[in-house]
Structure 1
Amino acid sequence: MATYKKRGYKPKAIKEKDETIEGLEQDSTTAEVFNTLDEGANKAEDWVAGNQKGIFILIGVAAVIMLGYLGYKKFVAEPSAQEAMNEMYSAQKSFDEAVNGVNKDSLYTLALNGVGGKLGLTDIVDQYGSTPAGNLANYYAGMAYLNLKDYTNAVKYLGDFSTDNAALGPIAKGGMGDAFVQLNQLPEAFEYYEKAIAASTNDYTTPMYLLKAANVAQSIGKTDKALQYYKRIKAEFSTSDQAKNIDAFIGRAEASN
């Protein structure tokens, strides 16, 4: 499970700046990093929102696969696994409505705490933590807390989520990286962005977390790593949104190397 330091403040939001090289050079390295991370976070949110149905399908498939490993006898021996899946329905419905709805904060809170006598995500984790549904509840809870800007709890629950799924794995690790950025713990953020990169190679999450990892690396003095990741975006993901101004980032990293 990931560890975190308690902080009494959160980094201030950075206003969007011109994306030209001149604009990048006018600000401090840290300001540039947080500006780019904010832009990347918005793109991540847009992609997740735009592909939410697909993500939920993947979550469902992952659940079926994990439950399949248990086998019929294990269901008979451990009915709590089925009970947990039944409890997940209401919490997952609230989470889904939060993603696609207007009153997001209240819906995420309902998903976490429960509604209509049904358990919330945190209770499912507490009572059914050893089941596949309990594991998935960690993912949902972590993402809910991330959206509610409760970054400490986002780290806690996402850190307890375990999966080999090619879509959920990088999103969970990258979510932890985003939370650590907001907690102003950049070395930890860099570590989890790298884990998100390593979890799966695809055209969606890989360039997104490569850019985030590179910008954090630039900020904490890992210029060689930053340059490596910028160049990988240019070489392997040239049609991605993250590649649009990649030459400017490469030039900045080379200048400070």
Structure 2
Amino acid sequence: MARIIALIKKEILSILNSPIIYIVTIGFVVVNSWLYFENFFVAEQATLRTYFAFFPWILLFLIPAISMRVWAEEKKSGTIEFLLTTATKDWEAVIAKYLSTLILILFILICTLPVPLSVAAIGNVDGGQIVTNYIAAFLLAASMVAIGQWLSSLSKNQIVSFIITLLVLFALMMIGLPYLLASTKGILTEGMRFLSTQTHFLNMSKGVIDIRDVTYFISIIVLFLFLNVFSLQSRHWK
């Protein structure tokens, strides 16, 4: 545990010394706020439904931008061998990098709080639904990070990692869209609906936390963190 904490501190300091945290934080808050307030006064209704509806689509670009450097940069610079041949175990490095990124995601989400708090101050907004939407957004982001971190471990090129992660996350969102599901039947429809991150996010964004949706996100996280460790250990087989 001490090694993991030390690695988390190292990763956070590395993130803070990089302009990416400030760029992505400002970008997320500004873009999401702009998309929301563009239609806020037209709707003439204090609702946060559209505000949170934009979260998955912005995270679709944000997460690949953050996760692309997790392992690809280490591989390119050659520091991955130093990191993984010291006393640090592969799974400890994976967990440390993952938790460091989650702390960054949590910070970004906290920075978006002024908007829903402002809307709640001028209208009748369900506070419980705000909480469940943030839980849904965090779980969605956490699952996306796990996928992106694994894909980053497969490449030395950050741009390649970004593009592949973007495509995979986009596919997982698209397969749950209603118009696409309408073109399929039976078990295929149910399978696509279950696999889609968008399906489970929308379920939770309605204000109800279903154990099935939480289990889905946790399963995605565990699976891809395991694949990340497996990917790192495969270097011993070469």
TM-score in terms of structure 1 length = 0.26
Question: Which one has the bigger helix percentage?
Answer: 2
- RCO greater where, 1 or 2, for CA within 8 Å and sep 6 or more? 2
